[in-house]
Amino acid sequence: MTAKQAARAEKATTGSGKIHIKWVRSAICTPVKHKRVVKGLGFTRLNQVIERPDNAAIRGMVAKIPHLVEIVQE
């Protein structure tokens, strides 16, 4: 994760300990591991925004697929 992405991730977190993640790029030509991470996060369709607890496990999953998802601020 670059410094810019880390700063964006830090800014996107809310005080309630939740993180909003948006699926922005298709997983069609990605390795099976990446597809499993997308499914494990709970995404079902492209451009979907989900809310997950802000913990190390979720941050690690997002760090594995930064080219497919982005952390949004709502």
At residue 56, the pLDDT reads: 96
pLDDT digits (tens, 9 = 90+) for 1-60: 676 666 666 655 445 699 999 999 999 999 999 999 999 999 999 999 999 999 999 999
SS3 content of the chain, % helix, strand, coil (to 5): 40, 20, 40
Task: Give the model's pLDDT for residue 13.
Answer: 47
Cα 39 from chain centroid? Answer: 11
**Cβ 34 vs Cβ 65: under 8 Å:** yes
Q: How far is it, in rounded angstroms, from Cα 33 to Cα 16?
A: 30
> Mean pLDDT, to the nearest integer, of 61-66?
97
The per-residue pLDDT for 73 is 83
User: Which 3 state secondary structure label does DSSP give 9?
Assistant: helix
List 52's β-bridge partners, or say none: 19
Whole-model pTM? 0.76
**Domains, the chain:** 3-72 (3.30.1390.20)
